[in-house]
Structure 1
Amino acid sequence: MPRAPKKNVSGFLQDIKHSSVSLPRASERPFGVAPTKRVFSAPKKIVFVKERTVGHKAPFKTTRVFTISALAGLFIAGFFIFNIFNLKDDFTASAKNISAYFADAKVAFLNFNPGGAKASFLEAGRELESVRNKANRYKLFEFSKLLGSFAPAFKEIPAFFGNLGQFSELAFKISNISERLLRDGARSVFNGRGEYLIKDIEMLRTDIKTLRELSVTLRNQTRMLADMNGEDYLAMDIELMRIDELLGGILSILNGPGERHIAIFFQNPSEMRPSGGFIGSYADVVFQNGNIVKFDTRDIYDPDGQLDLKVIPPRQMQSLTATWGARDANWFFNFPTSAQKVLYFLEKSKMYSERIITFDGAIAVNANVVKDILEVVGPIDVPEYDLVIDAENFLLEIQEEVRTGRDRQIQQPKKILKTIAPILIKRLVAMNETGQKELILKIRERVAKKDIQAYFRDKRVQNFVLRSDAAGEVFQLPSGFFGDYLAVVNANIAGGKTDIFMSQSIDLTSSIDASGRIRNNLQITRTHDGHTQKQSWYRALNQNFIKIFTVPGFKIISAQGNHAKTVKPQIDYDSAGYVKDPDLEKIEGEKGKIEISNEAGKTTFGTWFSVEAGKTKTLEIDYEREGFLPSDGKIYQFVFEKQSGVNSSFKLSFEAPPGFRWHESNSAFFTYKTDNPNGRIIIHLTLIKS
């Protein structure tokens, strides 16, 4: 193709760039005259021709190199993308595993096992390190950041693993501190090192705050990255918040202004009372600056002897005592109510009121707890009394000394407890790690059996006690409750120390008819084996006022095996100026052979059921309630609560309505039996149409 003449183009451009004709300026033109038009003569055709080098071919080698490079780049990119997607799958699996380890750690913490929590966090760290090593080997974290421009979820992977690593390390640190607190806490408060205990708790709270912030971030990242909703981290955050609240409450007691007091009630199961046994003795534990500065063991009659209040005692006790005091105030099955009432009387006693002393809380322990401690620390030599106290003879020897010992002559019958207490504490403080672990397991078991119950006025501490099932609180029936509830509560009234030789069995047979009426047959059998003992207080008549707790709406149909008893008050309360206690007044029913009342949200049937030494008796009660309409798939809930300190077995036999069976037994009948029930048993049964 012929090339276009350059001059044509050049001339054209020259005319444009360097025009020889000048137009008059606007200011030089007469008004109303248009500017002169300029006409250019353009070439008819402008041809642009692409030039190329003549005599050279395209380089094939360069094209081949480019193609190979492109393929290699695609291969490398594909390799990284493939591994990134594999990493995401690995991440999802690892995130779930790590979450499971965290859940295990939470359970361990709740069971006072920081060592177990530490082991779970260690496993979580190993799982995390495994995925991190794989990612680093192929530089996948760096590449995932690039992919984050197209898929934001990938961009979060490195940040998530960074946060997860920090979370795991911090949780491991918290476990270490918790383990140290559990191991050395008792030594610190008894050995004057409470300030270090306080510092550890404050450090723990700081770390928990950081951990909670991380858990929120991880929860959000987990929702974005994995097929998970992050609820495990939410649950962890909630538990961390609760632990932080608990630690705050503990600090307020350990490090509060002035002296802080905690009462320990020693409940004697040889003489049963509704919350677990007669409080013959107690200890006033005094804290200051994180240290226990005083452990004052006392006879309960010391403060009651300085009590000027005139309060009418429970009706069943009025022939035994004219006044109500701390010694008999654990009259309520609900331990928090009993604890509040005992503390009320203690604080009203001149022993404490004149010094304006109040108590932050109370812990009730039964003799079984002391027995467990002696099993761990070994026998205690008490040369002043020519005794060796061990797990087997503790209660019997103490009661023998209190009833007949020389200290009774000087009006200090329980002085032996003041002698034993510091020896026992010294042994506890000196325990090795093996002994500590053994004792913790035993304490956990005693909490489950309601042999240890606690109440604190600080809501932060009490909430933790409630969640740990250590409050001795009566089960609260939820709204719309479908099911049944049973508790059998004994109160020894002038029956000596006979309950230590009483055995009890509870047998409930329940059925539902076609109309939804629940019919219950309850048989309570009690055997008195004290006749083999030489001491009169073990061979006495077991005079027992028994209460049956059930769901509101039940009505008594019949009762046999019980008896009436006339209780004659020692004084005329009206003329003597005594007052009624409002809490007591709420739970006392009308006088009769069976007293029907309400307590702790339950209907109660109260009656006298006494047993002579060497005898066995059975109380049988039939009662029923309407209103349960059976249907396919309906859940029936049964709750049994044991009285603290009572040696009792329990058996439940339950018949489904006609035309139905229980899913759990695949039969119309369901049976549950235990010789040593925990403090609370909850059974869920599902009705299935036959």
Structure 2
Amino acid sequence: EKIVPQLDAVTAKLSVANEELKKIDPNDYPEQIKGKEVRARILQAESLVSDATLALTDAKPIIEVLPELLGYPNFKQYLVIFQNDGEQRPTGGFMSAFAVLKADKGKITAEKSGDIYSLDDKFGRNVAAPEIIQKYLDEKSWHLRNMNLSPDFRVSMTTFKDAYDGLQGETEVSGVIAINTHVLEELIKVIGPVTVEGYGTFTTELDARCNLSQVICELEHMIDKPLATMVSNRKSTVLGPLMQQIMKQAMGGGKEQMASLFTLAMDLVKQKHVLAYFDDEKEQKANEIFNMAGRIKDFDGDYLHINNANFGGAKSNFYITQEVEQEIQIAADGTVTKKLYISYSHNQPMDNCNLEDGDLCLSGIQRNYFRVYVPKGSVLTEGLGSEVEIDTGEDLGKTYFDGFFELRPESKAKVMLVYTLPFKVSNGQAYKMMIQKQAGEKEISYKVNLNGKEENFIVNEDLEKSWQVN
């Protein structure tokens, strides 16, 4: 309660400073005076103040409920789920491991951890799997590990937590927080190598065994590679101790490290590498305003969300990149026709995925189920690149087109969709578009061609664009 008014005052002062700094042209100053940087310092100051102003403004909703979230006056416990983005799923990755964090008056401790299969072993309900799971994973029952099927994190976690809450002997939690491999990598880049007793040291150096950072490669060896010499519960207990050590090193750093961690945290949220769902409606509302809730949003205009799910394709997404191209034609009567091209490149040689050989299988044949969410009422006129017929459906207030294909290592695939939008755009109007990035996805190169005018940009967070129609 004491922090928020002070936060408003600080934000107001930063806004004033930001406006004043905007009046300064760095090019009016020399690069150096007596060997000391001048122009670079001005640019740095402008960037820092601008970033700080945006960060505090964006963070205010969650800061207002921070005391409750941190366990004041009553402690709270949260389920932290590790979504492995190497095996992409609708909310960011395969839910492979979990830990329980306890927040008690600001002190955070890891209470327990395990793998998702230990939860599935306790799930006694015989729930029929959705058609997608039955078709592409060949599983008749719906397991907890596959319950993040909706691209909307709240929808998925409502389903998942309802199942989790019914498990006997598991900790009662007030919410679910999801992180992925990118979070671990970026944290270790800031705080330095992390040593966890009994598990070894984790770094971000390139590991030739996997062509990934050492921390990810080592965790994959612990989780996925069958080793006779490894204790049976090692994979199911690593997440808790690792998180505890990361928190210890994060809190033990100086002011400069804390500032870097704050900026990193904001970036990880914006880029959807950290998601959260809370039972408490006030906390969830703040979470959604803060844009950490992973919601599929309403938008008045054109809309695009490309959602991929890896169903049985190993951890191939570590090595797959995407490019997206949109060709938009507006006819004289205002009818909007779009051609959407989604290109996939699998950039790694095939691993030995014969389970009997006991090798680590990360790069395999990608089995990709895709859904492309567009404005409700859009009509598909042509679709190519799917090995099954591309269907049309409605979900989350949108129309979607879905299909499936396999992508072998060191090869490419392309999906093309042609569709008309449910509204018209007149000459002189602004053509507005929202692009929502899939949680856990790497940055994607986009190209938009609107009536012959082309723009290229990178999408690594939700983005709104606008073009004038001439």
How would you bin the TM-score normalised by the shorter chain?
Answer: 0.7 to 0.9
- Corresponding position: 1:371 with 2:185: yes
Mapped contact 2:442–2:460 kept (Cα < 8 A): no
Separation in 1, partners of 2:379, 2:190: 48
Shift of 1:371: 0.7
CA distance in 2, matches of 1:109, 1:472: 26
Q: Distance in 2 between matches of 1:255 and 1:652?
A: 48
State the match for 1:361 in structure 2: 175
Task: Give the 5 Å matches for 1:385-404.
Answer: 385=199, 387-390=201-204, 392-404=213-225
Letter matched to residue 321 of structure 2: S
Aligned to 2:356: none
Contact 2:113–2:238 (CA under 8 A) maintained in structure 1: no
Tell me: CA distance 1:594–1:409, structure 2 relative to 1, closer, same or farther (3 Å): farther
* 1:554 Cα offset (Å): 1.3
Query: What amino acid is aligned across from residue 394 of structure 2 in structure 1?
Result: N
Letter in 1 for 2:411: K
Conservation of the 8 A alpha-carbon contact between 2:99 and 2:239: no
Larger helix fraction of residues: 1
- 1:287 maps to 103
Matched, 1:557 2:381: yes
Structural mapping, 1:10-25, within 5 Å: none
- Aligned 1:95-174 pairs, distance under 5 A: 109=7, 117=11, 120=14
SS across alignment from 2:125: coil
Check conservation: 2:83, 2:92, Cα contact below 8 A: yes
Cα 1:393–1:433 shift into 2, 3 Å: same
Letter in 1 for 2:423: G
Task: Specify the alignment match of 2:331 in structure 1.
Answer: 513
Does residue 672 in structure 1 map to residue 455 in structure 2?
Answer: yes
1:315 to 131, 139, 145: 131
Question: C-alpha distance in 2, partners of 1:649/1:293?
Answer: 36
1:375-397 per-position Cα deviation (integer Å, ceiling 9, x unaligned) = 11111234634554446311111
Candidates 387, 392, 411, aligned match of 1:615: 411
Deviation of residue 619 (structure 1)?
1.1
Structure 2: 5+ residue stretches without partners: 19-56, 206-212, 353-358
**1:619-668 deviation per Cα after TM superposition (whole angstroms, max 9, x unaligned):** 11111135305143x23211111112223523242434xxxxxxxxxxxx
Contact kept in structure 2, 1:451 and 1:645, CA below 8 Å = yes
Matched, 1:410 2:192: no
| More moved, 365-374 vs 313-322 | 313-322
Unmatched runs of 5 consecutive residues or more in structure 1: 1-104, 125-238, 565-592, 657-668
Percentage of identical aligned residues? 19
Matched, 1:600 2:399: no
Match of 2:306 in 1: 488
Aligned position for 2:446 = 651
Any idea what SS the aligned residue of 2:113 has? strand
Q: 2:437 aligns with which of 642, 664, 669?
A: 642
Q: How does 1:445-594 map to 2 (within 5 A)?
A: 445-477=267-299, 481=300, 483-531=301-349, 537-564=361-388, 593-594=389-390
Deviates more, 1:452-461 or 1:406-415: 406-415
Question: Quick check: which one's strand share is greater?
Answer: 2
Pick closer, same or farther for the CA change 1:507–1:458 going to 2, 3 Å.
same
Q: What residue identity is the alignment partner of 2:180?
A: N
Q: Structure 1 CA distance, aligned partners of 2:398 and 2:229?
A: 44
Find the aligned partners of 1:266 and 1:346 in 2 and give their Cα distance: 15
Query: Which 10-residue stretch deviates more, 281-290 or 336-345?
Result: 281-290
For residues 545 and 408 of structure 1, the distance between their equivalents in structure 2, rounded to whole angstroms, comes to: 34
Question: Residue 96 of structure 2 contacts residue 115 of structure 2 at CA under 8 Å; is this kept in 1?
Answer: yes
Deviation (angstroms), 1:411: 5.0
Question: How far is the alpha carbon of 1:249 from its aligned partner?
Answer: 6.8
Q: CA deviation at 1:361?
A: 1.6
Structure with greater contact order relative to length (CA < 8 Å, sep ≥ 6): 2
**Is contact 2:305–2:438 with CA below 8 Å preserved after alignment?**
yes
Match of 1:424 among 242, 246, 265: 246
In the alignment, what sits opposite 1:435? 257
CA–CA distance in structure 1, aligned partners of residues 312 and 181 of structure 2 = 20
State how many pairs are aligned: 414
**Alpha-carbon distance change, 497 to 518 in structure 1, aligned in 2, over 3 angstroms:** same
- Residues 109, 455 of structure 1: CA spacing in aligned structure 2 closer, same or farther, 3 A cutoff? farther
In structure 2, C-alpha distance between the alignment counterparts of 1:539 and 1:402, rounded to whole Å: 15
Among 418, 421, 432, which residue is 1:625 paired with? 421
- Structure 1 partner of 2:208: none
CA distance in 1, matches of 2:331, 2:236: 56
Q: Which residue of structure 2 aligns with residue 129 of structure 1? A: none
Partner of 2:28: none
Cα deviation digits, residues 8-54 of structure 1 (max 9, x gap): xxxxxxxxxxxxxxxxxxxxxxxxxxxxxxxxxxxxxxxxxxxxxxx
Does the 8 Å contact 1:523/1:619 carry over to 2?
yes
How far apart are residue 287 of structure 1 and its match?
3.1
Contact 1:367 1:395 in 2 (8 A): yes
Aligned CA RMSD, in angstroms, stands at: 3.1
| CA distance in 2 between partners of 1:622 and 1:413 (Å) | 45
| Equivalent AA in structure 2 for residue 254 of structure 1 | G
CA separation of 1:285/1:346 partners in 2, compared to 1, >3 Å: closer, same or farther? same
C-alpha distance in structure 1 between counterparts of 2:62 and 2:234, whole Å: 42
| 8 Å CA contact retained: 1:304, 1:349 | no
1:423 shift after superposition:
2.2
TM-score (norm 2): 0.79
SS at match of 1:447: helix
1:686 paired residue number: 468
Q: What's the CA shift for 1:503?
A: 0.9
Q: Which amino acid aligns with 1:554?
A: S
> Counterparts of 2:69 and 2:201 in 1: how far apart (Å)?
41
* Alignment partners' CA distance in 2, 1:246 and 1:458: 15
Match of 1:664 in 2: none
CA distance 1:551–1:244, change in 2 (3 Å): closer
| Structure 1 length-normalised TM | 0.55
Paired with 2:235 and 2:62, the residues of 1 have a C-alpha distance of 42
Whether contact under 8 Å (1:407, 1:413) holds in the other structure is: no
